[in-house]
A and B are shown apart, each in its own frame.
Chain A
Amino acid sequence: MFLLDISLQSRVIIGISAMVFLFCSFLVSFISNQRKKLKYQKNLQLIQQQQQQALMEQNMLLEKRVRERTVELSEQKDSLQSALSDLKASQLQLVQKEKMASLGAIASGIAHEIQNPLNFVNNFAEINAELLLELKDLLELENTTLTRRGEMNMLMTDVINNLQKIHQHGKRADAIVKSMLQHTRTSNAQLEETDINELVSEYLKLAYHGQKGKEGSFNVNLVTDFSEDIKKLKVIPHDIGRVLLNLYNNAFYAIREKQKVAGESYEPIVVVATRKTDHSVEIRVKDNGTGIPDAIKAKIFQPFFTTKPTGEGTGLGLSLSYEVIKAHGGELKMSSEEGIFTEFTIVIPA
């Protein structure tokens, strides 16, 4: 078989050429690769720079917005703080108003209670003055006969009797004032052994007379049903008294409102009852007034919620009452049917 022979020179040329070719190819490929990488790196750097620039712009914009927003928020905060201060001041004023209203009702009741003995005192003092004038006239006469002596004695006896009555009614007024002061002293906010029935009764009288004082034509059938087996409870009498006063006033308001629309056949009744249960004492105040609509039942204990016209109610009465009863560890419950009745029940742990 004929085979071609490759000379040594040819082998050298082939070998070196092959290696040079391979080396050059590697070099070209490597350089082109590096150039591509460099170009890619440059592009990447450019993109990064652009991104950084954009990021810086965004940051600046963001910072500007944050500054603006901060100023805005600061202004809003100032405005809100001012509004809050105003609101707190208004709240204080309203609480004060509620207290004053309560005080007014009490004062009105006290005035009525004292008015009666005072009338007696005044009348008897007036009569005594007249009797003493008569006695003076008799003493100025020269001839004092036996008959005149008898008249003078009678006059003296009348004066003494009258003075005794004045003293008696003065003492009564004093007792009333002392009794009222006992329940209205605000500084004495400590738990005291209190006769619940007496407290309920006294404040009922106060509320009634207060109402009567404001509105002469006011008339209501007050029904009381006090359980006799209730022992004295440790409560803050002034606070419970304020709660009771508030419930009574609400009841009177409700029947007064109903009177306006119900006509003459309507007989307003307020029932006040106390009852002892296993572990508590219940005080119920029920009226047959306008009742409470279902829609507002959930709101009545909220502060500043009222259905009364502006100026007549602060909307704090029931809210404060609720807080007072809660502070005593008790409950203040309500049940009502619109147009039929409303009943508030105070539950105080025994």
Chain B
Amino acid sequence: MIDKLQLVLDWSEVWAPLIPMLFYLFNRHQPAYMKPVLIYLFIAFFFNLVGDIISFYKIYLPSWMQSNNPLYNIHSIVRFVCFGYFFLLLRQNNFSWLKKTLPLLSIVIILFNFIYLEDFGDPAHLSGNLLAAEAYLLLIYCILYYLAKLRDEDGEIGTGPDFWIVTGLSIYVVVNFFVFLFYVPMIDHDSLLAERIWNVHNVAYIILCLFITKALYVSSRYKFAI
């Protein structure tokens, strides 16, 4: 039973994005700011599918194809780009300078990371620093969103689809910041613990996908209400 549950969790990065994707297929009319999130879902599904296939069937693959680390790196960059663009599309006038600065900062971090700290194509383990930095920058976006909502005089928190996406993302990045930060040392010290800790990431990812589904539902309900 535990093995089966573990299998389900191991493949969660593939099936979890399918939930909002399927919901979207039946509720296609969504606001413009949802577009980056939807694009992310399709890309993430593709990368996660390929990544899991590589992870589970690497013994059948040639040696140069046995590492899924570059896919995770690209996934991380794509996630940052998509959600960063999502936050820019939200009509919030507060902290706009900081929001525009964060992409530049991310470029600097990515370059610094792959020049001085990690190897982009490292076959041994994923780029924990990159993922942690990405999670941290996304968390800043989320906090800026909540602050802007609090500043807004007539802003109602918790009613729009954007709130559900940001909340799901906040949970994902807060949980995974420490997972990503300590994942590489953890593999070196206790690979079994690292594998189990990755389940935490998977659960957080399922939560993110469910919150995105909720956002799509709220958005479609808004449309009908109008």
The digit string for B124-143, where 1 denotes a CB below 8 A from any CB of A, is: 00000100100010011001
Within 8 A of A (CB), among B175-203: 177-178, 181-182, 185
Tell me, in angstroms, the Cα distance from A60 to B69 when the chains sit together: 79
Q: Which residues of chain B are within 8 angstroms of A1 by Cβ–Cβ distance?
A: 119
Tell me, in angstroms, the Cα distance from A4 to B117 when the chains sit together: 5
Q: Which residues of chain B are within 8 angstroms of A30 by Cβ–Cβ distance?
A: 147, 150
Q: Are B151 and A33 in contact (CB under 8 A)?
A: yes
The closest CB in chain A to the CB of B132 belongs to: A15
CB distance from A35 to the nearest CB of B (A): 12
The reply to whether the CB of B10 lies closer than 8 angstroms to some CB of chain A is no
Cross-chain contact of A3 among B116, B136, B151, B178 (Cβ < 8 A): B116
Q: Are B119 and A33 in contact (CB under 8 A)?
A: no
Q: Which residues of chain B are within 8 angstroms of A33 by Cβ–Cβ distance?
A: 147, 150-151
Tell me, in angstroms, the Cα distance from A22 to B140 when the chains sit together: 7
Q: Which residues of chain A are within 8 angstroms of B52 by Cβ–Cβ distance?
A: none
The closest CB in chain B to the CB of A19 belongs to: B177
CB distance from B110 to the nearest CB of A (A): 15
Q: Which of B147, B150, B181 has the most chain A CB atoms closer than 10 A to its own CB?
A: B181
Cross-chain contact of A11 among B140, B146, B182 (Cβ < 8 A): B182
CB distance from B137 to the nearest CB of A (A): 11
Q: How many residues of A sit at the interface, in one of the four size bands? A: 10 to 19
Tell me, in angstroms, the Cα distance from A53 to B132 when the chains sit together: 58
Within 8 A of B (CB), among A43-100: none
Q: Which residues of chain B are within 8 angstroms of A29 by Cβ–Cβ distance?
A: 147
Q: Which residues of chain A are within 8 angstroms of B151 by Cβ–Cβ distance?
A: 33
Q: A11-B181, A11-B182, A19-B177 are in contact. Are A6 and B117 (CB under 8 A)?
A: yes
The digit string for B17-39, where 1 denotes a CB below 8 A from any CB of A, is: 00000000000000000000000
Within 8 A of A (CB), among B133-182: 136, 139-140, 143, 146-147, 150-151, 177-178, 181-182
The closest CB in chain B to the CB of A36 belongs to: B151
Q: Are A22 and B181 in contact (CB under 8 A)?
A: no
Q: Which residues of chain A are within 8 angstroms of B119 by Cβ–Cβ distance?
A: 1, 3
Q: Which residues of chain A are within 8 angstroms of B117 by Cβ–Cβ distance?
A: 3-4, 6
Tell me, in angstroms, the Cα distance from A29 to B94 when the chains sit together: 12
Within 8 A of B (CB), among A1-48: 1, 3-4, 6, 8, 11-12, 14-15, 18-19, 22, 25-26, 29-30, 33
CB distance from A252 to the nearest CB of B (A): 89
CB distance from A321 to the nearest CB of B (A): 76
The closest CB in chain B to the CB of A29 belongs to: B147
Q: Which residues of chain B are within 8 angstroms of A14 by Cβ–Cβ distance?
A: 181
Q: Which residues of chain A are within 8 angstroms of B185 by Cβ–Cβ distance?
A: 8, 11
Q: Are B150 and A15 in contact (CB under 8 A)?
A: no
Q: Which of B118, B119, B129, B136 has the most chain A CB atoms closer than 10 A to its own CB?
A: B136
Tell me, in angstroms, the Cα distance from A30 to B143 when the chains sit together: 10
Tell me, in angstroms, the Cα distance from A15 to B131 when the chains sit together: 13
Within 8 A of A (CB), among B69-116: 116
Q: Are B182 and A8 in contact (CB under 8 A)?
A: yes
Q: Are A3 and B118 in contact (CB under 8 A)?
A: yes
Q: Which residues of chain A are within 8 angstroms of B182 by Cβ–Cβ distance?
A: 8, 11-12, 15
CB distance from A42 to the nearest CB of B (A): 15
CB distance from A326 to the nearest CB of B (A): 68
Q: Which residues of chain A are within 8 angstroms of B136 by Cβ–Cβ distance?
A: 18, 22
Q: Which residues of chain A are within 8 angstroms of B177 by Cβ–Cβ distance?
A: 15, 18-19
The digit string for B55-80, where 1 denotes a CB below 8 A from any CB of A, is: 00000000000000000000000000
Tell me, in angstroms, the Cα distance from A6 to B128 when the chains sit together: 11
Tell me, in angstroms, the Cα distance from A15 to B186 when the chains sit together: 15
Tell me, in angstroms, the Cα distance from A18 to B137 when the chains sit together: 11
Tell me, in angstroms, the Cα distance from A12 to B151 when the chains sit together: 33
CB distance from A292 to the nearest CB of B (A): 77
Tell me, in angstroms, the Cα distance from A25 to B143 when the chains sit together: 9
Tell me, in angstroms, the Cα distance from A19 to B117 when the chains sit together: 21
Tell me, in angstroms, the Cα distance from A18 to B180 when the chains sit together: 14
Q: Are B116 and A22 in contact (CB under 8 A)?
A: no
Q: A3-B117, A3-B118 are in contact. Are A26 and B181 (CB under 8 A)?
A: no
With A3-B119, A19-B177, A26-B147 known, 9 other A-B pairs at CB within 8 A are A1-B119, A8-B182, A11-B182, A15-B178, A15-B182, A18-B136, A18-B177, A25-B143, A26-B143
B residues within 8 Å of A by Cβ? Answer: 116-119, 129, 132, 136, 139-140, 143, 146-147, 150-151, 177-178, 181-182, 185
A residues within 8 Å of B by Cβ? Answer: 1, 3-4, 6, 8, 11-12, 14-15, 18-19, 22, 25-26, 29-30, 33
- Would you mind naming 13 contact pairs between A and B with Cβ atoms under 8 Å apart? A3-B116, A3-B117, A3-B118, A8-B182, A8-B185, A11-B181, A11-B185, A14-B181, A15-B132, A15-B177, A18-B136, A22-B136, A29-B147
The 8 nearest A-B residue pairs measured at CB: A15-B181, A8-B185, A26-B143, A4-B116, A29-B147, A33-B151, A11-B181, A4-B117
